[in-house]
Amino acid sequence: MLLVSEPVLGEEERVALAAVIESGWVTMGDRVRDFEQAFARLHGAEDAVAVGSCTAALHLILHALGIGPGDEVLVPSLTFVATANSVLYVGAKPVFVDIGSAEVPLMSLDEAEAKCTSRTKAIILVHFAGYLAHREAWQSFARRKGLLLIEDAAHAPGLPEVGSYGEAAAFSFYGNKNMTTAEGGAIIARSRALRETIRQARAHGMTSGARQRLSSRRPDYDVTVLGFNYRMDELRAALGLVQLKKLPEWNDIRRRLSVRYRELVTEHCPSVMIPFEDPWPSTHHLMPVVLPPATSRQRVIDRLRKHGIQTTVHYPPVHRLTFYRDLYPEMLLPRTEDFSRRELTLPLHPRMTTADVERVVIGLTTALATNFPVGAVA
């Protein structure tokens, strides 16, 4: 089966993990700190904070910025549910914003402006599929409205622009991301004070960690702020240090495969639309395509699977998931909903070759040629 995503793990990662086990120190320590500094350097940032997941990163950012009950945060519905969940974690209200169009399925600036109220305190921008939102436009909007700007950069590690939009950015190293630590995440924040607040809050609000207490030979510590257990461990940091060195090359492979996809889809499947004009600043995390109206997406998925090709969907709209539908029963986001009905994510990862891309497009062409409209009987 040609998978939608596949981590690249090998001997270097195995050696790095073995070294941690042999060291006898597996919780947050020197490797975590090395990883933070290396990740920051790659993005031209002063420093970074490693955490247990991108969800933890988003929660910590909102918490440290003082977002809470009575506040509203603008979020897209075309995202993973964690983006909205993190707003609820701090007691604030997520306000769902429609995308601009199927061609540019990022949060609409006009719609965001229309949904601003006196309670709106922040915006969470999602770099969907690794394609970056327009930085200057959103910065100007945030300044004009007095809003805090946060990046959900789960799909976008490795580009120097990422992490420079606003107050902070959250990254993911989950197993299907451009680089992986199995689970894990990181935060880049502009302000040193904000970083230090986040750093303390990720470990129960304690004034010192276990490694620091060992080095200083003092067992005492204090808890001065509310904190959480959102630490990264040494095993994940060791994986991250190896993966980080390979990330630029892997992102370039993704870019080249994406270019080939665009060429072949345009040639063989002209009725299929690929979002985002080329070139567009991107890490090419996903390969989303939009199927023609009235196409039975499930039949396309089934036919591709019979040919050994996995596909998936990014994303079911968050506001239509049962939990959020119960909270927002009247919510309508027509462009997001239409995009989500027709979007199909094709395989894209560094283990693939151009021959794999050709195989996928041939399979897609065949599946569309024998497809029946939604509701038709095969």
Interatomic CA distance for residues 238 and 347, integer angstroms: 27
As a whole number, mean pLDDT of residues 20-45 equals: 97
Same domain, 268 and 233: no
As a whole number, mean pLDDT of residues 18-29 equals: 96
- The structure tokens listed for 111 are 């719609």
Contacts of 237 (CB under 8 A, 6+ apart): 31, 32, 34, 35, 50, 181
Judge whether 55 lies within some domain.
yes
As a whole number, mean pLDDT of residues 227-255 equals: 98
Beta strands in the chain (DSSP E): 49-51, 72-76, 93-97, 120-126, 148-152, 168-172, 185-189, 287-290, 343-346
Determine the pLDDT at residue 115: 98
Judge whether 200 lies within some domain.
yes
Same domain, 43 and 65: yes
Judge whether 168 lies within some domain.
yes
pLDDT in tens, 343-374: 999 999 999 999 999 999 999 999 999 875 65
Determine the pLDDT at residue 368: 96
Same domain, 137 and 280: no
Which of 145, 177, 246, 306 is labelled catalytic?
177
Same domain, 211 and 281: no
Same domain, 235 and 257: no
- The Cβ-side half-sphere exposure at 158, using a 13 Å CA radius, reads 27
Task: State the pTM of this model.
Answer: 0.95
What radius of gyration do the chain's Cα atoms show?
22
Q: Which domain holds residue 253?
A: 248-369
Name the band, by pLDDT with cuts 50, 70 and 90, for residue 376.
Answer: low
Is 93 known to be catalytic?
Answer: no
Determine the pLDDT at residue 73: 99
Residue 141 reports pLDDT greater than 90: yes
Interatomic CA distance for residues 29 and 31, integer angstroms: 6
Number of domains in the chain: 2
Same domain, 222 and 276: no
| DSSP letter assigned to residue 181 | -
Boundary of a domain, candidates 216, 242, 268? 242
Judge whether 194 lies within some domain.
yes
Same domain, 149 and 233: yes
- The structure tokens listed for 152 are 């959900």
Determine the pLDDT at residue 378: 45
Same domain, 186 and 208: yes
Judge whether 6 lies within some domain.
no
| Mean of pLDDT over the chain | 96
As a whole number, mean pLDDT of residues 22-46 equals: 97
Contact 202, 227 (CB under 8 A): yes
Contact 141, 109 (CB under 8 A): yes
Same domain, 286 and 203: no
Residue 261 reports pLDDT greater than 60: yes
Enclosing H/E stretch for 365? helix 354-369
Same domain, 27 and 110: yes
Contact 120, 95 (CB under 8 A): yes
Interatomic CA distance for residues 316 and 343, integer angstroms: 10
Same domain, 75 and 123: yes
pLDDT in tens, 95-122: 999 999 999 999 999 999 999 999 999 9
Determine the pLDDT at residue 312: 98
Give strand pairing partners of 174: 182
Judge whether 262 lies within some domain.
yes
CATH number, residue 98: 3.40.640.10
Same domain, 94 and 68: yes
Give whole-number Cα distances, 99 to 107, 112, 339, in Å.
Answer: 4, 10, 9
Name the band, by pLDDT with cuts 50, 70 and 90, for residue 207.
Answer: confident
Determine the pLDDT at residue 377: 43
Judge whether 158 lies within some domain.
yes
Contact 88, 323 (CB under 8 A): no
Residue 77 reports pLDDT greater than 50: yes
Boundary of a domain, candidates 180, 210, 242? 242
Give strand pairing partners of 97: 76
Q: Which of 164-173, 270-279, 311-320, 368-377 has the lowest mean pLDDT?
A: 368-377
